[in-house]
Amino acid sequence: MSKRVKQLPQERGSVLFDVAYEDGSRKSNRRVPMEILGGFDGDEPARLFIEEQDEAIAQKSGRPRSPIQELDRSMIKAPKLVSEDR
């Protein structure tokens, strides 16, 4: 049985970010499309994208969202071998 390698998020067109909020909570591996990143703004468009997502989640849940304290790119992990019989 052959094995295939699971694609990395970068190969699928997204970048992963770790987000730290002012209330002390953390969220890992938040996906941001590569198309909005780059240029002179660097990762600032990612902050705006994640803030928009958080605002939509806050409206649906009825809870106020916490402001973002820090935004870092996640470490790139090595691809995993995945069995094709799944």
Measured at the CA of 43, the angle between CA 38 and CA 45, to 5 degrees, comes to 85
Does residue 35 sit within a domain? yes
pTM, two decimals, is 0.72
Does residue 23 sit within a domain? yes
pLDDT higher than threshold 90 for residue 56: yes
Q: What is the pLDDT of residues 24-46, one digit of tens each?
A: 999 988 989 988 887 777 788 99
Query: Considering only CA atoms, which of 8, 17, 28, 10 is closest in space to residue 82?
Result: 8
Does residue 5 sit within a domain? no
- What pLDDT does 13 receive? 77
If one counts the domains in the chain, the total is 1
| Interatomic CA distance for residues 6 and 82, integer angstroms | 6
Tell me whether residue 53 is exposed, middle or buried, using C-beta atoms within 10 angstroms of its C-beta: 0 to 12, 13 to 18, 19 or more.
middle
Host domain of residue 57: 14-73
pLDDT band of residue 76 (cuts 50, 70, 90) is confident
Contact 28, 20 (CB under 8 A): no
